[in-house]
Structure 1
Amino acid sequence: MAEARQLREFVPADAPDGITPDVPAIDVADVTGGVTDHTVWSCAGNLTAVRSVRARVREFLDRMGHSDEVLDDAELAVSELATNALLHSRSGQSGGVMTLFIRSDAGRLRVAVADQGEREGEGGHSRDDGEDFGRGKLIVDSCATRSGDYWNEDTHVAWFEIDSDAL
């Protein structure tokens, strides 16, 4: 949690040069019950936010009483989702933001990372690159009970769920 505070203090919430970034949205209309945490990170065009995202997920789920095994799996899976969002989307460019959504309720946790869609201009990698990419989905699938992704206008949302009997 301290890292998230440090990141918010170090990275201004406003985009440089008066650019207003589109904050990636997660459709939470169907969320009922349980406990949620919804955080928007200003990513400053680099991977420094991933450590803060992992810490935020671990702290929140620990507070909700999930087992160490669930914490480890969720931390690894969200690390992959956040890294992919920053490598493959506008969220990883200067002024970029990504949204983290965590829900913990009766026996299940759900984590989603929303990014700002495909990168613009040069740099980074597209989601279609082959080369040395593509194992993140396998890692997420091995940690999660269910996972997937969807597009909402210009926002890409990747999510996973882990069934847990901690609650």
Structure 2
Amino acid sequence: MAEARQLREHVPAEASGSTDSVESTGLTGGATDHTVWSCAGNLTAVRSVRARVREFLARMGHSEGVLDDAELAVSELATNALLHSRSGQSGGVMTLFIRSDSVRLRVAVADQGERRGPGGHTREDSGDFGRGKLIVDSCATRSGEYRSESTHVAWFEIDDEHRSRRDDDGH
């Protein structure tokens, strides 16, 4: 119950001032999974996030290509959350939200907002940073992000056309 309340705080249905909310295209039916990770200030949580997404979406019957794309895209979002936000600092928390229906999946990663102090990179840093969004966009049908004062949410959706055809064919 506390995780559900925390999820609603991190992934609101409507983000103020943003048209790119996590609920923008309205999945119906299907199933939802969410997990709140205590990240302990390191990148080891990314492996668990990838495994959780793959396992949940495989259980929901998504195609292998979609599983690969979702795993790569969520890996980028989780890594960015840990590198660029307070979620990657000692005691940090990152929330993973997964939603799947018969033709589409949605994954969102909510972090604790901009990192303060030494030992981190801001989202505005250049150089070796910035390719993650290109990777997510190449894997996803739609993606976006929004911020509140204390939270940053990055999300993507993938339409699973193969799953839709399998359902239509009765397979």
1:9-158 correspondence runs (5 A): 25-28=10-13, 32-158=28-154
SS in 1 for 2:10: coil
* Percent identity for Structure 1 against Structure 2: 79
Tell me the equivalent position of 1:16.
none
* Aligned mates of 1:103, 1:81 — CA distance in 2: 16
Return 5+ residue gaps in structure 1 as ranges. 1-21
The residue identity in structure 2 corresponding to 1:113 is V
Residues 121-143 of structure 1, C-alpha deviations (whole Å, 9 max, x = no match): 11110000001100000000000
CA shift, 1:56, in A, is 0.1
CA shift, 1:153, in A, is 3.2
- Scaled by the length of structure 1, the TM-score of the pair is 0.83
* Aligned mates of 1:153, 1:63 — CA distance in 2: 35
The residue identity in structure 1 corresponding to 2:129 is F
Q: 1:34 to 1:28 in 2, by over 3 A?
A: farther
Residues 52-92 of structure 1, C-alpha deviations (whole Å, 9 max, x = no match): 00000000000000010000000000000000000000000
* Aligned mates of 2:98, 2:50 — CA distance in 1: 12
Return 5+ residue gaps in structure 2 as ranges. 1-5, 15-22, 165-171
The residue identity in structure 1 corresponding to 2:84 is H
CA shift, 1:27, in A, is 1.7
CA shift, 1:40, in A, is 0.3
For this pair of structures, how many residues does the alignment match? 146
CA RMSD of aligned residues (A): 1.7
Residues 87-123 of structure 1, C-alpha deviations (whole Å, 9 max, x = no match): 0000000000000000001301000000000001111
Q: 1:28 to 1:39 in 2, by over 3 A?
A: farther
- Scaled by the length of structure 2, the TM-score of the pair is 0.81
* Aligned mates of 1:33, 1:105 — CA distance in 2: 6
CA shift, 1:26, in A, is 1.0
